[in-house]
Copies of this chain bind each other. A is one copy, B any other.
């Protein structure tokens, strides 16, 4: 379901869009939330059209197809957004790694945590620049300012955790057990 929602959302936010351009969004801002490849996007767009949630508005050059959201698609999207799933699923390989890094011996874990901290700081910096390039929206939902702001806050929180955790491990008295077990 989520891929469908993400596609409808992009069509709602950006107007008529081709599969090719949607794929670029899924490789950019959306990649931090719900990544997808063109091989998945094209078939899903076809299903969207079959279900009446989108229509092909134009066929441009090179076989380019512009998909447009239908009222039914918009309703479907709105309904999904209104009804909160109490236990939505998260699957994050990066958090899994952060989760487990403290298992390594301190002299290995600390530098890795510091490296992660600066990677996330950098990602936050880049996203913040993107966010600030767009000015804060005066029509809500337009132009992805809020989405970028969410990303910045997430990256910053992770950077803070990595720094605090590295500091904390570093401050521990050395034991002989090397963090094994």
Interface residue range, chain A: 35 or more
Q: Per-residue 0/1 for A14-37: is the Cβ within 8 Å of any B Cβ (1 yes, 0 no)? A: 010000000000000011111100
Contact A103 B81 (CB under 8 A): yes
Contact B153 A5 (CB under 8 A): no
Answer whether residue A146 sits at the interface, using C-beta atoms and an 8 A cutoff: yes
**Which residue in chain B gives the minimum CB-CB distance to A99?**
B147
Contact A150 B140 (CB under 8 A): no
For the residues of A in contact with B, the DSSP-based class is: helix
Give the B-binding residues of A (Cβ under 8 A): 2, 5-6, 9, 12-13, 15, 30-35, 74, 77-78, 80-82, 84-85, 87-104, 106, 108-109, 112, 115-116, 119, 136-142, 146-147, 149-150, 153-154, 156-158, 160-161, 164-165, 168-169, 172-173, 175, 177, 179-181
